[in-house]
Structure 1
Amino acid sequence: MDLISQRLQQIKGNIVAACQRSGRNPKEVQIVAVTKYVDMETTRRALDAGLVHIGESRAQEAVPKWKELGGRGVWHFIGHLQSNKAKAVAGRFTYVHSLDRYSLAKELSRRSVANGQATKCMIQVNISGEKSKHGLKPDELLEFARESAELPQLEIEGLMTMAPVTDDPEEVRPIFRHLKTLQQELQRLGDPKLSVPHLSMGMSRDYIIAVEEGATFVRLGSVLVGTQPQKA
């Protein structure tokens, strides 16, 4: 069995177990294969292994992969996005996980209108407050979400956060729990444009905790596809 397929089987088992512990349906959880550190061939092998969702964070490196693979898969832009790169992302990436400022929301909306194809966005929230991380402060979320949801061809699908790097995954549980609380606050508004069904949280170190706390997208790189091209 291919190494990626072996890893995927183990990860799926971990997700099922995490869902059983938290009373969730494993079908609610989607794996985003983070392929930003691996080559096109490894990305192709991830798709061949049955993965659907592909995560990239640099438009200039991702677009050639997207073209070479003929549009296979559902592509997610997961890194910090400069407004001048919105043209390359809109129309190719179904999801943007890093919406964190209104100028970017307007530019994505403009490009999406021009393409005639909506862009689904996760609003990035900096729960931990780390200066090294992008994202809104939690108390900025409500106003930003309301304004962004009114832009044409921009669909607010959920929230995203990045937890601090720690040797003990349990330490990040409050971060994920806080994002879930923010999701519930938006949902209580009753605005159909802010149903925010998705939570993008959890990476290779802490995805099991994230699933237990409500993640619907987990972004997995090293634990799944590695950080170097993988030989068949």
Structure 2
Amino acid sequence: MKSSDNMEQVEQRLVTIQKQIHDACEKVNRSSDDITLIAVTKQVSSARAQSLLDVGIKDLGENRLEGLLEKQETIEDPVNWHFIGNLQTRKVKELVDTINCLHSLDRMSLAKEVHKRASKPLDCFVQVNVSGEESKSGITPDEVDVFFDQLAAYENIHVIGLMTMAPNTDDESIVRNTFSSLRKLRDKIAAKGLSYAPCTKLSMGMSNDFTIAIEEGATHIRIGTALAGSESEETE
């Protein structure tokens, strides 16, 4: 695909998604300025990631360390880097000072390693498995209070919010309940006024459900294919 065609395609997708964000915000009396759009580039090349930056995207998300480092070597533009995948503790030292935000803090051993390796406090989302699906990572809702109490020991962990993934289902009520449940958990933690965990943000919503997530309070949405496309498109 020619670079000009690629750019036009990305621009069209961005316009569509921005309208969907605006409409979802308007529906619940929110401002679209409150939404951070993260373009998930795990399935595309550095060139496609660059094209996203060229049309105004400022936040990129990766779920593999190798993919993140490869793009960071190639891309020179300022980027807010988000790591959204499961992170093995042995890879923390390579990752922790290269990103702006970790969306998948899901166990105390990971918190300990991030604290040990980070040169300064790292913004994190605690991942909560609201749906209870075995295929999904994250602490359970019942573990949230104790988990946050334990995080007080790690000064390099700065929890800005909670993250979850909804079940892959066409039943909107299930998806909406997942997101609203996370919002209630967020509100509960935020009310504690923890200095190390203000917990005011919600990372939830992907290509197929981000409008529902916004209606339920999402501040960070993670959009992959609907915005960045797929690797196969780049070889057409």
User: Which TM-score applies when normalising by structure 1?
Assistant: 0.94
State the aligned residue count: 229
Shift in Å, 1:229: 5.7
Is structure 2 residue 157 aligned with structure 1 residue 154? yes
Q: Distance in 1 between matches of 2:103 and 2:218?
A: 13
Cα gap change, 1:82 to 1:32, in 2 (>3 Å): same
Is structure 2 residue 16 aligned with structure 1 residue 10? yes
Structure 2, unaligned runs of 5 or more: 1-6
Check conservation: 1:149, 1:156, Cα contact below 8 A: no
Q: 1:16-75 CA deviation, whole Å, 9 max, x = no partner? A: 111111111111101100000101100111111110110000002210111211363100
Instruction: Please report the RMSD computed on the Cα atoms of aligned residues, expressed in angstroms.
Output: 1.5
Q: Distance in 1 between matches of 2:223 and 2:172?
A: 15
Q: 1:198-229 CA deviation, whole Å, 9 max, x = no partner? A: 10000000000000000000000011111226
Q: Distance in 1 between matches of 2:153 and 2:25?
A: 34
Which position in structure 2 is the counterpart of 1:139? 142
Shift in Å, 1:171: 3.1
Amino acid of the structure 2 residue aligned with 1:166: T
Is structure 2 residue 49 aligned with structure 1 residue 46? no
Structure 1, unaligned runs of 5 or more: none
SS at structure 2 position matched to 1:76:
strand
Is structure 2 residue 190 aligned with structure 1 residue 184? no
SS at structure 1 position matched to 2:104:
strand
Q: 1:151-185 CA deviation, whole Å, 9 max, x = no partner? A: 12211111000111013444300000000000000
Q: Distance in 2 between matches of 1:88 and 1:3?
A: 34
Counterparts of residues 34-183 of structure 1 (less than 5 Å): 34-70=40-76, 72-112=78-118, 116-183=119-186
SS at structure 2 position matched to 1:80:
coil
Amino acid of the structure 1 residue aligned with 2:86: H
Cα gap change, 1:81 to 1:27, in 2 (>3 Å): same
Is structure 2 residue 230 aligned with structure 1 residue 227? yes
Cα gap change, 1:14 to 1:21, in 2 (>3 Å): same
Large movers: runs of 4+ above 6 Å: none
Q: Distance in 1 between matches of 2:21 and 2:136?
A: 26
Cα gap change, 1:117 to 1:111, in 2 (>3 Å): same
User: Which TM-score applies when normalising by structure 2?
Assistant: 0.93
Check conservation: 2:155, 2:196, Cα contact below 8 A: no
Give percent identity, aligned residues only: 39
Q: Distance in 2 between matches of 1:138 and 1:101?
A: 13
Check conservation: 2:21, 2:214, Cα contact below 8 A: yes
Q: Distance in 2 between matches of 1:101 and 1:171?
A: 26
